[in-house]
Amino acid sequence: MVLWEGRFKKGIDSRTNDFNSSIKFDYRMYKEDILGSIAHAKMLGKQDIISKEESDKIVDELNNILNDIEDGKLEIDFNAEDIHMFIETELTKRIGDTGKRLHTARSRNDQVALDIRMYLRKEIVEIKDDLKKLIHVFLDKALNNLDIVMPGYTHLQHAQPITYAHYMMAYVEMFLRDLDRLEDSYRRLNIMPLGSAALASTTYNIDRNFVKQELDFSDVTKNSLDGVSDRDFVLDLAYTLSLMMIHMSRFSEEVILWTSSEFKFIELDDSFSTGSSIMPQKKNPDITELVRGKTGRIIGDLNTLLVMMKGLPLAYNKDMQEDKEAIFDAIDNTKMCINILIPMVDTYKILKDNMLDKAKIGFINATDCADYLVKKGMPFRQAYKIVGSIVSYCIDNNKILETLSLDEYKKFNDNFDKDIYEYIDLKNCVEKRNVIGGPSSKQVKKRIDEVLNILN
């Protein structure tokens, strides 16, 4: 069945049909297409645009088609142009001319816009649930490791002492922002476009608010041109997924570093590692390398969507068919990455002694040493210079701040006393940072409890 056969004198070339076809990727919207059509048919009957009997017949058969697809009794025909035509053709095959009345007062343009909004709405809910599971794993790791001291880094150089729990909670904050962006994306896409028709709405007495309520949208689009040509909501979600992947990629990069012999902070479970075909000793973090790689792919999907939309005139253009492959790919791969990171993080082992040993080198308590002098009344810049000289002395003499004698300290400044050792103890350095957002166990535990309340 060709929709425009009345206008054309020649049949469509098979190559044109193949090039135009989108069913190989839009088939996944079959349920949304059917549910949208059911709501539309109900509205047509309610408004006496078609008879109530015809409306009921269409609705009943659409439900049968949905059940048959989900039960495996009806296979989707991938020779059809798209999922919308497949459903309509199957409906007409089953109930004859009554099925042809379904498309009254709508266009494929607003039908497609409706289906993609409904489909992305469903996917956002699933991604949010997956992301919450990942956050819970990070929270568990943090809660069970509140007192494990490790070096914090800037420029990938030892900087100041933190805890492993504080480190994990940094990623929790990123993921919470991702959740917020997902919710914001949902809010913006949850607007019902059906009734825009091709671009200029319709002359039929339709009830858009009825369809909105049937399909649980929060509002209807306010401009028919925009209703069929808007893909901001697809871009919103693609950006949100790209940023979420960037967060997972940053974590993955650190897992790759931390499993190396140079760091040896964590050890991956055998079931979430791979080996080498030639080197028997290898244990590779392939999962995190793939997450890192797929991040580039999903950023590419976002770029595809941005470039696709940048020069399109109003209203609908066939270019917009390209939105689905890109956003579907971004969704599929993001979900895949989240769901493999969950068990990987849950099962890896934290090598806390190695973390502490690494924290003891690199003078990460030097700032605390300077703060010690400041609290004795010295200006910070003067204290900074004195401690810098102490560090230089330690490097020359193969010592660390904890192993300097009190006499050595006093050579640099008389304000040093025996309490300096307690002040620069690594665990004390962490616990003294008892401010909101700081790494002290009290503050981290408080934030864990807050996040658990947010998630619940």
Model confidence pLDDT, tens digit, residues 143-191:
999 999 999 999 999 999 999 999 999 999 999 999 999 999 999 999 9
CATH value at residue 36? 1.10.275.10
Q: What is the pLDDT of residue 11?
A: 63
Q: What is the pLDDT of residue 21?
A: 80
- At how many degrees (to 10) do helices 108-143 and 441-455 cross? 150
- Residue 280 pLDDT class (50, 70, 90 cuts): confident
Q: What is the pLDDT of residue 259?
A: 96
pLDDT tens per residue across span 340-368: 999 999 999 999 999 999 999 999 999 99
Stretch 32-49: mean pLDDT, rounded? 98
- Whether the pLDDT of residue 5 is over 90: the answer is no
Rounded Cα distance between 263 and 365, Å, is 19
* 9 domain-assigned: no
* 4 domain-assigned: no
Is 353 in the same domain as 365? no
Q: Is 329 left (phi over 0), alpha (psi -120 to 50) or beta?
A: alpha
- Whether the pLDDT of residue 116 is over 80: the answer is yes
Rounded Cα distance between 369 and 378, Å, is 12
* Boundaries of domain holding 80: 14-104
Nearest to 202 by CA among 36, 40, 33: 40
> Are 83 and 21 contacting, i.e. CB atoms less than 8 angstroms apart?
no
Rounded Cα distance between 313 and 310, Å, is 9
Mean of all residue pLDDT scores within the chain: 94
Is 114 in the same domain as 151? yes
* 35 domain-assigned: yes
Q: What is the pLDDT of residue 277?
A: 85
Is 150 in the same domain as 281? yes
Q: What is the pLDDT of residue 301?
A: 98
Phi, psi (rounded to 5 degrees) for 349 = -100, 135
Q: What is the pLDDT of residue 265?
A: 97
CATH value at residue 138? 1.20.200.10
> Are 380 and 369 contacting, i.e. CB atoms less than 8 angstroms apart?
no
* 330 domain-assigned: yes
Is 254 in the same domain as 384? no
- Whether the pLDDT of residue 13 is over 80: the answer is no
Q: What is the pLDDT of residue 2?
A: 53
* 365 domain-assigned: yes
Among 357, 391, 418, which residue terminates a domain? 357
Is 377 in the same domain as 415? yes
- Whether the pLDDT of residue 282 is over 90: the answer is no
Distances (CA, A) of 126 to 171, 186, 337: 20, 12, 14
Stretch 59-79: mean pLDDT, rounded? 97
Stretch 69-83: mean pLDDT, rounded? 95
Q: Is 339 helix (H, G, I), strand (E, B) or coil?
A: helix
* 2 domain-assigned: no
Among 71, 104, 137, which residue terminates a domain? 104
Q: Which residues are catalytic?
A: 155, 276
pLDDT tens per residue across span 433-454: 999 999 999 999 999 999 999 9
Task: Count how many domains the chain has.
Answer: 3
- Whether the pLDDT of residue 61 is over 60: the answer is yes
Is 387 in the same domain as 418? yes
Is 88 in the same domain as 138? no
Among 55, 83, 104, which residue terminates a domain? 104
Q: What is the pLDDT of residue 169?
A: 98
Is 349 in the same domain as 401? no
Stretch 92-100: mean pLDDT, rounded? 97
Cis amide bond preceding 197, omega within 30: no
Q: Is the dihedral of CA 193, 196, 198, 199 positive or negative?
A: negative
Is 127 in the same domain as 238? yes
Rounded Cα distance between 327 and 321, Å, is 11
- Residue 3 pLDDT class (50, 70, 90 cuts): low
Stretch 245-270: mean pLDDT, rounded? 96
Is 230 in the same domain as 81? no
CATH value at residue 437? 1.10.40.30
Distances (CA, A) of 340 to 131, 273, 335, 337, 360: 11, 12, 9, 5, 34
pTM of this structure = 0.92
Is 299 in the same domain as 365? no
* 5 domain-assigned: no
Stretch 49-55: mean pLDDT, rounded? 98
> Which two three-digit tokens encode residue 210?
């009825």
pLDDT tens per residue across span 384-424: 999 999 999 999 999 999 999 999 999 999 999 999 999 99
> Which two three-digit tokens encode residue 426?
């690594």
- Whether the pLDDT of residue 1 is over 60: the answer is no
- Whether the pLDDT of residue 250 is over 80: the answer is yes
Stretch 73-81: mean pLDDT, rounded? 94
Is 131 in the same domain as 223? yes
Rounded Cα distance between 117 and 192, Å, is 8
Q: What is the pLDDT of residue 159?
A: 94
- Residue 35 pLDDT class (50, 70, 90 cuts): very high
* 8 domain-assigned: no
